[in-house]
């Protein structure tokens, strides 16, 4: 194999599954399909790693004549770029499954002083870091600029100024190198963060995506199809960790600090109940919990931890009790809905998926449900560009392309099945993303 990993050979699996195609030239061909076979064929080809595009189609009464364009590229190198919040990241990924490089420049030190992300500072730092981060990704992968087959960039959701830095850079690069470009939903990126270190996802799957900006439970009946089953009505789970940590004087980001203190605290010390929706929907809500913590702090006269001071027993107990109710809420809802929908894989991803208690409780739930639970490793749980490249590879292989008018979409949603917007609007239910 040459360094770029291009190899023009059809996989044996592909040959076995679609034998009539083994002798096809890797260019346009007209094929007569029984109607029902086109979908299956297209799926087989895209799973084989070959690019396929239907360039023209004739639909007859009981057959379809499709003119297909096969790119014949078994190996695809994709540059991923992520800049939606406070991490500037670039990665080079082969075939959507193998990380050749993944570079992340975190802005935690900048935002720590303010106890949260300051959007204006975030955009400025992305501007400073984007060039060296992308260059470093190419250097570490040992890949030359012109060897990549496409560019995938986070389109949204996120902070507009931050997103625009990555998008503008990706568009300029795609134009200069004449490479295909796709925009990726950041949340879909988190779903794809599990593909590198786990066996292939078996569908239908469930994905619980929990981070500082989002808390969603998706039903994924097939690749690329998303139905939101539950989501937060107010704060995201990671945001609740960050706000409670700030309240207790513990620093930013709050998740890892609360987890560390919780290990030495008693989760039964403070009784918080799992928030439930009055309208019976299986949604999450963490803002009431934050208020309950603040009430507990006020009523017990608990002092915030001063810089350099050792957190008290009461603070550790509060951290453990708070973490416990968040985990019970996330896993309890996931398990209940899984009993109803019977997924075959459970994916738990996003920054909060770093949390050991959440991992343990999810694995136990997976055991009771009899399904495997896939987590990304820590490096891939928080924001990174490898997950964006992986999600983008699937889109590029399916022939999706973004134009140079690609723009940031700060409230980009991830749901393309049974979208209930009108019904929700009528019932006046309000959601964050
Ligand atoms: O995915 P991510 O890097 O950024 C967003 O897309 O939001 O997630 C960051 C969030 C932060 O809120 C952080 O507190 C939380 O993930 N987090 C954790 C842990 N590590 C990071 N939450 C709970 N326990 C952890 N160990
Ligand atoms: Zn994220």
Could you tell me if 258 and 350 lie in one domain?
yes
Could you tell me if 227 and 327 lie in one domain?
yes
Could you tell me if 230 and 348 lie in one domain?
yes
Q: Which residues of 317-345 are buried (b: 16+ CB within 10 A; e: fewer)?
A: bbbbbbbbbbbbbbbebbbebbeeeebeb
Domain of 47 in residue numbering reads as 12-70
Ligand 1 atom with the shortest distance to the CA of 84: 6
For the sheet containing 52-59, what is the strand order? 29-34, 63-70, 52-59
Could you tell me if 235 and 314 lie in one domain?
yes
Pocket of ligand 1 from Cβ distances under 6 Å: 85, 211-213, 238-239, 241-242, 253-256, 259, 350-352, 354-355, 382-383
Could you tell me if 352 and 291 lie in one domain?
yes
Q: Which residues contact 187 (CB under 8 A, 6 or more apart)?
A: 157, 209, 214, 216, 414, 433
Q: What is the CATH number of the domain that holds 109?
A: 3.30.420.40
| 190: nearest Cα among 169, 170, 164, 208 | 208
* Count of structural domains, the chain: 3
Q: Residue with the nearest Cα to atom 19 of ligand 1? A: 255
Query: Would residue 297 count as lying in a domain?
Result: yes
- pTM beyond 0.85: the answer is no
Q: Which of 263, 352, 380 to mutate to test the pocket of ligand 1 (most atoms within 8 A of CB)?
A: 352
Query: Would residue 115 count as lying in a domain?
Result: yes
Query: Would residue 85 count as lying in a domain?
Result: yes
Could you tell me if 248 and 160 lie in one domain?
no
pLDDT, tens digit only, all 433 positions of the chain = 333 333 333 333 232 222 222 223 333 444 444 445 555 555 545 544 455 555 555 555 555 555 555 554 458 999 999 999 889 999 999 999 999 999 999 888 888 878 778 888 999 999 999 999 999 999 999 999 999 999 999 999 999 999 999 999 999 999 999 999 999 999 999 999 999 999 999 999 999 999 998 899 999 999 999 999 999 999 999 999 999 999 999 988 899 999 999 999 999 999 999 988 878 888 999 999 999 999 999 999 898 888 878 899 999 999 999 999 999 999 999 999 999 999 999 999 999 999 999 999 999 999 999 999 999 999 999 999 999 999 999 999 999 999 999 999 998 999 888 766 666 666 666 666 5
Could you tell me if 214 and 351 lie in one domain?
yes
Could you tell me if 171 and 222 lie in one domain?
no
Query: Would residue 354 count as lying in a domain?
Result: yes
Query: Would residue 168 count as lying in a domain?
Result: yes
Could you tell me if 185 and 222 lie in one domain?
no
Could you tell me if 248 and 274 lie in one domain?
yes
Could you tell me if 128 and 176 lie in one domain?
yes
Q: Which residue stretches of 301-376 are H helix?
A: 313-341, 356-369
Q: Residue with the nearest Cα to atom 23 of ligand 1? A: 255
Could you tell me if 216 and 309 lie in one domain?
yes
């Amino acid at each position: 194999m040459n360094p770029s990993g291009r190899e023009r050979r059809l996989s044996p699996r592909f040959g076995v599954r679609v034998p009539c195609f083994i002798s096809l030239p890797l260019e346009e061909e007209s094929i007569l399909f029984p109607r029902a076979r086109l979908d299956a064929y297209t799926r087989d080809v895209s799973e084989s790693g070959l690019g396929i595009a239907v360039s023209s189609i004739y639909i007859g009464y009981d057959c379809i004549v499709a003119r297909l364009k096969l790119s014949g590229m078994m190996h695809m190198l994709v540059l991923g770029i992520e800049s939606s919040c406070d991490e500037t990241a670039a990665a080079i990924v082969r075939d959507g499954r193998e990380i050749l490089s993944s570079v992340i420049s975190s802005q935690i030190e900048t935002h720590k002083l303010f106890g949260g992300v300051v959007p204006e500072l975030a955009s400025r730092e992305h501007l400073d870091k984007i060039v060296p981060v992308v260059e470093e990704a190419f250097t570490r992968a040992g890949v030359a600029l012109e060897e990549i087959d496409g560019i995938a960039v986070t389109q949204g959701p996120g902070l507009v100024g931050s997103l625009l830095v990555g998008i503008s850079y990706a568009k300029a690069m795609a134009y200069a190198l004449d490479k295909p470009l796709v925009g990726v939903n950041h949340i879909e990126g988190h779903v794809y963060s599990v593909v590198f270190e786990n066996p292939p996802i078996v569908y239908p799957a469930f994905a619980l995506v929990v981070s500082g900006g989002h808390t969603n439970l998706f039903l994924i009946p097939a690749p690329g199809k998303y139905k939101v089953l539950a989501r937060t009505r107010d704060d995201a789970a990671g945001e609740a960790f960050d706000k409670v940590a700030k309240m207790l004087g513990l620093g930013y980001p709050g998740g890892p600090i609360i987890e560390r203190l919780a290990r030495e605290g008693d989760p039964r010390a403070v009784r918080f109940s799992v928030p439930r929706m009055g309208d019976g929907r299986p949604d999450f809500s963490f803002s009431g919990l934050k208020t309950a913590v603040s009430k507990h702090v006020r009523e017990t006269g608990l002092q915030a931890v001063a810089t350099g001071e050792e957190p008290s027993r009461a603070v550790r107990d509060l951290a453990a009790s708070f973490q416990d109710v968040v985990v019970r809420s996330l896993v309890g809802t996931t398990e209940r809905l899984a009993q109803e929908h019977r997924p075959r894989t459970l994916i738990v991803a996003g920054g909060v998926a770093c949390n050991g208690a959440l991992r343990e409780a999810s694995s136990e739930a997976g055991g009771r449900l009899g399904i495997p639970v896939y987590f990304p490793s820590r490096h891939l749980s928080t924001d990174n560009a490898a997950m964006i490249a992986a999600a983008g590879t699937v889109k590029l292989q399916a022939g999706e392309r973004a134009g140079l008018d690609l723009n940031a979409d700060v409230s980009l949603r991830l749901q393309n099945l049974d979208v209930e917007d009108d019904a929700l609007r009528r019932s006046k239910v309000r959601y964050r993303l």
